[in-house]
Structure 1
Amino acid sequence: MLTTWSVEDGACRVRDGAISAVTAALPAPEARAAAAAVADPEALRRAVWIDLLNPTAEEVRAVEAALAIEMPTREEMQEIESSSRLYREGDALFLTANFLHGVEQGEYASTPISFVLTNTSLITVRHATPKAFSVFGARAQRQPAQLLGSADAVMLHLFEQIVDRLADVLEKIGADMDRASQRTFRTARANLKANRKDDQLKMTLVTLGQVGEMTMRASDTLLGLTRILTFVGAEKASAIRKENQHILKTLVRDVRSLVDHANVLNSKAQFLLDAVLGLINAEQSNIIKTFTVASVALMPPTLIASIYGMNFELMPELKWDYGYPLAVVMMIVSAILPIVYFRRKGWL
């Protein structure tokens, strides 16, 4: 799906390879054909931002032919070495990083997104839609002159939107951890039944697992942004216009603050995980202690029963009229005495 953004006559026109603002009333096949006709080489060269979402081979070739650049393939976007993700070819910068998406649906994942910055255009290649892209697209339609002034401005404003979105995600993670923390320690203090405590602790473990995964993916996104901004900062003399360099400086400060916040959340998550595991271990220790006391309390009655369970002919107690009641009483008393002793020692 190919979308081109440009400012013409003070308006932002969206050309979409699946359905466009101009052809929205048409059925999908007719809309694709009409939009493809609009996205001619001249239109691509005039575009400030070209957004490729799950692009077809024809769409990639059209962009490459119009702008005389070679777009990175999906396999190349998934390379992890820095030299394959951040590099310059001629006047174009190629920037790739993993970005968090799917938080709203609860199916969060990371996807590589490539930014190709030329002197006149920004090309983004992606195979998922982080919410920041949708929000920025809506803003660009409302404020085309402000956000689409130049290719580097589009990229920096898009990064701003991504950073704002990451801040919202980290705030949500922090709120989830606060609720998990309150639930954990409130449950630990309350005088509840053991099975109810186990359910609460299991719920907390699930929450911490989800929070940990989201924090990890958010940190991965921040790491990618840090590398991109560092690389762009080194190339800013030729890649970023002077009037936009203050945006780059602000982005660097914001990303650093989010990295610090993410580290704090990681530490907090580790603390809560240790606390929950400690409470679970304490519950297990209580269970083991109960079984230990029970086994010790039953040892004397078992000994008495074993002695009087022997069928020797010369056992004087066998002829006693009160021998059986006496043996039962001895077993009960011998079981109660250890329990009383443990209680006085504070072990129960």
Structure 2
Amino acid sequence: MLTTWTVEDGRCRVREGAMSDITDALPNEAREAAAAVAAPEALRRAIWIDLLNPTPAEEKAVQAALRVEIPTREEMQEIESSSRLYREDDALFLTANFLYGVDSGEYSSTAITFVLTNTTLVTVRYASPKAFTVFSARAQRQPVSLLVSADAVMLHLFEQIVDRLADILERVGADMDRASQRTFRAARTNLKANRRDDQLKETLITLGQVGEVTTRTSETLLGLNRILAFVSAEKASAVRKENQPLIKTLVRDVRSLVDHANFLNSKAQFLLDAVLGVINVEQNAIIKTFTVASVALMPPTLIASIYGMNYENMPELKWEYGYPLAIALMIGSAILPVWYFRRKGWL
């Protein structure tokens, strides 16, 4: 889908599927000519062109209108820096992976390319991070401050992405705090084994999700940091002077979020070690119980084995009280190890 953002008379004009919007209003015989002439003019007037899952026809229309080469989806997946951050003539090509889908729980990362020319910003994406939706709504309400120029749109969009990442990290931190309380509460209280196991399992799942989100958030922040460093080097020709302070603010915000993401990763690792420690303690307690039971049952088993032999010359077989004596001996030999373990503090 191709969406264009234009500011006319201080008002924001948004057209989704700009090619069809222009041609559908004309008679049938004039549509082909209008698509070839009017559509490029409309695209050139746009401050921001957002390509979401673009078709080949939409890519060609933007390329013809702006005279820039739009990267393909395969090219956007390249990981080397020279393929993600580069300049061609007067256009900057900036690509990074961005986190999306956190609200739905089906989070992942997607490559998004920003093509910045002197007059137009083109974004090419194949997913919809929430930051784009929020920024689109803000741009319609505040076109004069957000849609001033192509570089201003890009930097304000980066601001929205950073704000969104900050919200995600705050939410992750809150989830981790709840997981921490749940873990240590389960370790302190005398809950039933099934209930305690369920809480520990839920904590492990939460920590796994937290680790995945923070890792992808760190990846997004790393990509943003590289983009901002590249834009800073090119700001003399790519960014208007009044917008250059935004770059410094974004760099500081990104660095602070990187530090916070690293802190959350360290905390998640600590909690994971704590959960595994609690599980190991419980497993050791179970093994200890079986060990004590085995040791306690060894003497009675020995006694029963001795008197289970079928030799004729066994005087105890003819004792009147031999059977109850053997039973009492087995019970006493089982109690004695348990008493000894308790005296030593092993139980």
The answer to whether TM tops 0.5 is: yes
Cα distance in structure 1, aligned partners of 2:316 and 2:57: 101
The amino acid that maps onto 2:11 is A
Structure 1 residue 18, shift from structure 2 partner: 8.8
2:34 counterpart of 1:17: no
Q: 1:38 to 1:113 in 2, by over 3 A?
A: farther
TM-score, normalization: structure 1?
0.94
**Gap runs ≥5 in structure 1:** 27-32
RMSD (Å), alpha carbons:
1.9
Partner of 2:28: none
Structure 1 residues 38 and 279: CA distance shift in structure 2, 3 A: farther
- Give distance in 1, aligned partners of 2:59 and 2:150: 19
Q: Paired residue for 1:30?
A: none
Q: Quick check: 2:18–2:39 contact (8 Å CA) kept in 1?
A: no
Per-residue deviation, 1:17 = 1.9
SS at match of 2:209: helix
- C-alpha distance 39-261 of structure 1, shift in aligned 2 (>3 A): farther
1:184-333 residue pairs with structure 2 within 5 A?
Answer: 184-333=183-332
Per the alignment, residue 159 of structure 1 pairs with 158
Counterpart-to-counterpart distance in 2, 1:231 and 1:330: 85
| 1:306 match: secondary structure | helix
Q: Does the CA-based 8 Å contact 1:15-1:38 persist in structure 2?
A: no
How big is each residue's C-alpha offset from its partner over 1:45-64, in whole Å with a ceiling of 9 and x where there is no partner? 01000000000000000000
Shift of 1:195: 2.7
Distance 1:289 1:38 in 2: 83
Instruction: Tell me the SS of whatever aligns to 1:114.
Output: strand
Q: Give the equivalent residue in structure 1 for 2:39.
A: 40
Count the aligned residue pairs.
338
**Per-residue displacement from partner, 1:131-163 (whole Å, max 9, x unpaired)?**
000000001111111111100000000000000
Deviations 1:9-42 (A, max 9, x none): 111111112999x89xx9xxxxxx9xx8997000
The alignment status of 1:98 with 2:97, answered yes or no, reads yes
**Is the 2:118–2:150 contact (alpha carbons within 8 Å) kept by the matching residues of 1?**
yes
Shift of 1:196: 2.1
The runs of at least 4 aligned residues of structure 1 exceeding 3 Å deviation read: 36-39
The amino acid that maps onto 1:71 is: I
| 1:50-88 per-position Cα deviation (integer Å, ceiling 9, x unaligned) | 000000000000000001111000001011111111111
Which digits, 9 at most, give the CA deviation of each residue in 1:247-266, with x for residues without a partner?
11110110011011111101
Alignment check: 8 A CA contact 1:99 1:110 kept = yes
**One-letter identity of the residue aligned with 1:124:** T
- Give the SS at the match of 1:116: strand
Name the amino acid aligned to 1:67. Answer: L
1:321 Cα shift? Answer: 2.1
Shift of 1:230: 0.5
